[in-house]
Structure 1
Amino acid sequence: MALPSDIINSSLNSPSVLKDGSKLNPDYIPERLPHREDKLKELTIAFRDIVNDPGKSSVRVVITGRTGTGKTVTARIFGKAFAEQVKNRGIKVEYAHVNCHRERTLYLITLKIAEQLKLSIPPRGLSSQEVFKIIHEYLERRNMYVIITLDEFDYFLNSSPPEDIYFIVRLYDELAVNVKRVSYIFIIRDLTTLSSLDKTVRDHIARDIIEFPPYKSNELYDILQDRVKIAFYDGTVSDDAVRFISDINGFDKGGSGNARLSIETLELAGRIADAEGSPIVTVEHAKKANSRLNEEASIILDELNYLELHPMLLVKALINLSKREKKESFPIGEVEDEYSRLCELLGVEPRRHTQVFEYMRRLKLMGIINTQQSGKGMRGRTTLLSLTFPASQELDDYVTKLIGALKNSEQK
């Protein structure tokens, strides 16, 4: 039996598919923003008054969308790039980004803004309003403007007293100044959060709304390929693995459209490949990563318990084909042939094609299988079927056990 020190040394010295795992971290800011270029343009148009007529108005923009739709990273990239570009036009703009889930009170938010502006606040007890006044005086002295993003602003709206919300939103009702130097980006997951606010406050927040839709499969594919290039060594990630992750999460394919989850799945697939000593991240590694991370994976496994015999036999047919042929997807005809073979072994009558097709439709709705149309390289057009999770021995044993129980119950 190997010593712990030997195991650790061996693991430290083993090769990795990952070149720079930090490029897959949630906080990493990429150089490119695939499929969010239009949102950068919308933000620029919303904030160009800072350039065209500086100080005349305080710009307020709401960014809204589901988790993982690029809201935070787009705001961060915009803030940094906008500040750099307007500097060339002789206008000084700073960017501050505050997460309201972490900084849950107005006082903590104002301190975080001051910290990002590298502004020291006296240690004596000051009110939030006093801290904000110091911030504004600091901007005034330097003839500077600031764009403040309040990320996860929902938390602040749901937990703060009305007077604090009013102060943030209607700052210049409270501060008697001629030049308005503070503008906001409010990041909110769900616009219904605003419905409980006073109308005057709501109207001040929701003047300009930019909606971020969930990512489609092809969009996630482009995002993942960008990360593969900078985070992994060349040739260590199979295209099938990237395609699987993008398809399973693509909103148009029934997924959540969550880029953050997709990148996390890609990273875990790389770690799994390393742990197995594989020089390439395969679709099986991607499936294992998906089954660990996907919050619906446990639900899917539970739903296997509620399948009748014939849908379960179709799942078993896909498991058999995946293990035997070492492929991911199979024409519907091959799956039906394997299903018929299993029916013969069990001594049950196979269902007709129309009924089998209906079973497959149900399995897809349950998230157990994926379907797609065949492309080039196959004669004619056919539907290809694949599992959404790895065809592991554990899964095979589990499904075989369920089939046995279903067969026995039918005989009683």
Structure 2
Amino acid sequence: MDTNVSTKKNKKKHSVQYDRWGYFFIAPFFLVYLVFSLIPLLTTFVYSFFENYRIGLDTVGPYAKVYRYFDGNKEDFEWELEELPLALDTFVAEYEGDTLTLDIKDEIMDALYEVDGTIDYDAYEKDLVKLLEKDIENGKSVEAFAEDAKALITKEISAFKKNISVVFNKNDNMGRYFLNTMIMWIMGFVPQILISLLLAVWFTNTELNLKFQRFFKTVIYMPNLIMAAAFSMLFYAMFSPSGPVNGLIARFYASMSNTAATGAEFEPIRFFSSTGWTRGLVATMNFLMWYGNTTIMLMAGVMGIDTSIFEAARIDGAGPFKTFFKITLPLLLPIFVYVLITSLIGGIQMFDVPQILTNGKGTPNRTTMTIIMKLNNHLFSKNYGPAGITSILIFAITGVLSGIVYKTTMQKYTNKR
């Protein structure tokens, strides 16, 4: 009896725990995610609470507080405050003993402009006028007002609050760029998913017996291998005023009308000056680049469905349309949701195509400016705080929308108790 017990203990001791090897194989994925995704994400979140300037290779900051009327590094601001009292003292000496009037405000502003700095004069001047009117009511002297004007500029606000105000500026609102992004994504995704579904069903249907399937599968996937920058430059050259598209339209126009008799000449279509045409071209390029990839994924989903189900439906007299909507589409829903969520994430991160087509300006009138394009513009500025706020905002929007899509479409596949 004791011998059997010891033998069992030895077997347990020398046995290999194969279930733990799985952690070893997935460890590289988590290490890569930690180094290249999680740490940068947390760093971006931290930076959004500060003003953080980079001048060349030198980093100035971060500071949790920024001065209300100042846009620069702390050393420059301290030097500016030292110069400001000298300018105000000179002004006070000229008007000493006089009564404050509204005309004096212009003189004080001229003294402030002489200071070489980066004060937000528009915001400062508005508050200065309010302070001036209040000092006039209280009968303060020019010297007292000069002290108030000097103290006004030293008010501090949190850098996080300032970064948010920059991102949600009324004249440069992120809501507008989010709407632009979603419109162009929907314009490209709707035809993409419809054509991909059609091609996936065709290529997996054994009854059709389509020839040259491998060739067509390769051809539809080829645009996905082309760099977006090269694809965008190709479209830009094709649809420019002197491009081949306008050339073909001009030839068609000349053949359909007697230009020699009427004297009318064809005016080239300026595609990139029209909101509809520019958005349509961006959506078309996204469709051409990604419908092949979407087709391959949907084909994999259709091929994973048991063929006996289709045979049973065929025996019961179900037609192709009824089979598609009652069997194929419901069973394909998990793959469809995956395609939808990944396409949504890619759409929110849309950048390279509209960036190249509009030279980074989102023309016309910023109607093709996307969220990532605006984020890129923030990165060109000195302060990385607004860029951090924008990144966190994109992360939150992506997470919320993906969660909503998954929750609303996958309710049938959740385990209900």
Question: Structure 2 length as normaliser, TM-score?
Answer: 0.23
- Which has the higher relative contact order, 1 or 2, with Cα contacts under 8 A spaced 6 or more apart? 2
Higher helix share: 2
Higher strand share: 1
Question: Structure 1 length as normaliser, TM-score?
Answer: 0.23
